[in-house]
Amino acid sequence: MAAPSMPDAGVNAKSQPTKQRLIDAGMRLLLKHGYNGLGIQAVLAEVGVPKGSFYHHFSDKEEFALQVLDTYMDAVHQGLDASLGDTSRAPLARIRFFFENTRDAYDQEGFLGCLIGGLGQELSGVNDVFRQKIDACFAALAERLAGSLEEARQEGAIARDSNPRDLANLLVDCWEGAALRSRLRRDPKPLIAMVDFYLGALADSAQTDIR
Amino acid sequence: MAAPSMPDAGVNAKSQPTKQRLIDAGMRLLLKHGYNGLGIQAVLAEVGVPKGSFYHHFSDKEEFALQVLDTYMDAVHQGLDASLGDTSRAPLARIRFFFENTRDAYDQEGFLGCLIGGLGQELSGVNDVFRQKIDACFAALAERLAGSLEEARQEGAIARDSNPRDLANLLVDCWEGAALRSRLRRDPKPLIAMVDFYLGALADSAQTDIR
């Protein structure tokens, strides 16, 4: 789903605790290479610490990737706080704002899409821990978006008989598909095309109420 | 995108040429395990042939996976021929029929989603051959769907000022996101929820024309 602003291996990186630097490097490398394509050695090389330092913090690669996902989701929730919490905007405008910010975050990473969707796609055929965790990530995101959609419903900005939770799940799903296409093309267009279509359809549904 | 009916390792498998049996086994295993998670040894074991037999037909794993993708896409195009070519249905009903058939094909595989989207997600960060090939697969699918959407536009079933090609690309993207969620949940609901929303939005857009 939404990417946090990826930390880069920049000038201040050395001031972070080692565990955080490992997670930051893991986030960048997992997004690009995927889980099976990620070597712990590459993480160590990027951070400049020995193997023992990695295993001091993480029991294995799976635990490491799960903690990377937690960190990623924390940033997503912060992004949701900032955008959905901005009550100076109408509910649907808050949703648009969230996804525009997410698109900007993807831009900083070179449009590699969404880490959650990427790991979900790669691992959910064979690993139930990731499958269930990633499904729960999407459900949590949808739950928050549903809150704004419910406000929009009460204000008449979307059809009165619409189901905010269903619509929120649909939005998360469609975003993930657009994020994949954006990753394939290294292009933001599929992202905003999807949001425009979705929000346009909701607005039309409210018009149908009025008729 | 759309899954062909996956061949299973059933009673008639031995009657197929070895190359076809390797591709069929590769299709099932790639869908479940992904590219990096696929061992050639597992393919050989499933088909019951020695390593030399594999390398007689394929230079390496990458060429093998690319041929699996070609076979998968051939089946998708056959599915499109059957559904979009059924002119006894209205253009939008043909599109629905195609995706319902695809959902049924996913069902046969245990809802593991779409092989094209899966490989695209896993490999497009690091492998430009797959990235471009998979983008081309999606573009080809969208092109075909756009034909039916253009018919719908001419008949007034969708808004006159809509852009069938843009709408078709959006449909492919949203389907892929729904296929990922379906894979995470082993559940068909996200698939048809997406198609219902999309086709409902197009119908509403035509209503807006009439007003």
pLDDT for residue A3 is more than 80: no
Q: pLDDT value at position A24?
A: 97
Q: Does residue A177 have a pLDDT over 60?
A: yes
Tens digits of residue pLDDT in A61-88: 999 999 999 999 999 999 999 999 999 9
Rounded Cα gap, residues B5 and B20, in angstroms: 15
Share of chain A above pLDDT 90, in %: 89
DSSP for B174-189, please give it: HHHHHHHHHHHHT-SH
**How far from A40 is each of A21, A44, A53, A61, A124, CA to CA, in Å?**
13, 6, 11, 7, 21
> What would the 3-class secondary structure string for A117-132 be?
HHHHHHHCCCCHHHHH
**Dihedral pair phi/psi, residue A168, rounded to 5°:** -70, -40
Neighbours of B126 (CB within 10 A): 13
Average pLDDT of chain A to the nearest whole number: 93
- pLDDT one digit per residue (tens) for chain B, 211 residues: 555 555 555 444 566 899 999 999 999 999 999 999 999 999 999 999 999 999 999 999 999 999 999 999 999 999 999 999 999 999 999 999 999 999 999 999 999 999 999 999 999 999 999 999 999 999 999 999 999 999 999 999 999 999 999 999 999 999 999 999 999 999 999 999 999 999 999 999 888 776 5
CB pairs under 8 A between A and B: 166
Residue of B nearest to A192 (CA): B170
Q: Which amino acid is at B184?
A: L
> How far is B113 from chain A, CA to nearest CA, in Å?
9
B residues 76-105 closer than 8 Å to A (CB): none
CB B127 within 8 A of CB B14: no
Per-residue pLDDT for A207 more than 90?
Answer: no
| pLDDT, tens only, A116-166 | 999 999 999 999 999 999 999 999 999 999 999 999 999 999 999 999 999
CB A98 within 8 A of CB A83: yes
pLDDT at A12: 46
Residue with tokens 């094209």, as numbered in its chain: B116
A2 within a domain of the structure (yes/no): no
Torsion of CA A53, A57, A63, A66, to 10 degrees: -110
User: What pLDDT score was predicted for residue B205?
Assistant: 87
Pairwise CB contact (< 8 Å): A120 & B177: no
d(CA A170, CA A191): 14
Give dist(CA B4, CA A179) in Å, integer. Answer: 24
Is B7 a member of any domain? no
Same domain, A97 and A113: yes
Domain for residue B8, yes or no?
no
Q: How many CB atoms lie within 10 A of CB B189?
A: 14
Residue of A nearest to B192 (CA): A170
My answer on whether A30 and A73 are in the same domain is no
Kindly report the CATH number assigned to the domain that includes residue A42: 1.10.10.60
Q: What is the pLDDT of residues A34-66, one digit of tens each?
A: 999 999 999 999 999 999 999 999 999 999 999
Identity at B44, one-letter amino acid code: L
In a domain, B106, yes or no: yes
B181 contact residues in A (CB cutoff 8 A): 135, 138, 169, 172-173, 176
3-state helix, strand, coil in chain B (%, to 5): 75, 0, 25
Q: Which of A124, A131, A205 sits opposite B204 (nearest CB)?
A: A205
Total count of domains within chain B:
1
Gap between the Cα atoms of A36 and A30, Å rounded: 9
Q: Is B180 inside a domain boundary? A: yes
Classify residue A45 as exposed, middle or buried by CB count within 10 Å of its CB (0-12, 13-18, 19+).
Answer: exposed
Least Cα distance to B171 among A177, A188, A103 occurs for A177
Report how far apart, in Å, the C-alpha atoms of A60 and of each of A54, A57, B10 are. Answer: 9, 9, 38
Do A46 and A68 belong together in one domain? no
CATH code assigned at A151: 1.10.357.10
- Using an 8 Å CB-CB cutoff, list chain B residues near A135: 181, 184-185
Alpha-carbon distance of A100 to A3, in angstroms, equals: 11
Cα separation, B130 vs B123, whole angstroms:
7
Q: Do A116 and A41 lie in a common domain?
A: no
Question: Inter-chain contact B193–A166, Cβ cutoff 8 Å?
Answer: yes
**A26 and A80 belong to one structural domain:** no
Q: Concatenated DSSP letters for B153-177? A: HHHTSS-TT--HHHHHHHHHHHHHH
Q: Binning pLDDT at 50, 70 and 90, where does residue A16 land?
A: confident
**Amino acid residing at B209:** D
By CA distance, what is B130's nearest residue in A? A184
The predicted structure's pLDDT at residue B210: 64
**B92 touches B148 (CB < 8 A):** yes
What range does the domain containing A169 cover? 61-210
pLDDT higher than threshold 90 for residue A205: no
List, in order, residues 6 or more apart from B85 with CB less than 8 Å away: B94
- Same domain, residue pair A49 and A141: no
How do residues B61-72 score in pLDDT, each as one tens digit?
A: 999 999 999 999
Summarised one tens digit per residue, pLDDT across range B142-188 is: 999 999 999 999 999 999 999 999 999 999 999 999 999 999 999 99
Distance of CA A148 to the CA centre of its chain: 18
* Burial class, A23, CB count within 10 angstroms (exposed 0-12 / middle 13-18 / buried 19+): buried
Percent with pLDDT over 70 in chain A = 91
Q: Are residues A177 and A132 in the same domain?
A: yes
Q: ipTM more than 0.90?
A: yes
Please report whether residue B125 resides in a domain: yes
- A48 and A74 fall within a common domain: no
Per-residue confidence (pLDDT) for residue A82, from 0 to 100: 97
Q: Does a structural domain hold residue A51?
A: yes
Same domain, yes or no, for A166 and A122?
Answer: yes
A13 in any annotated domain: yes
Does A173 contact B194 at a Cβ distance shorter than 8 Å? yes
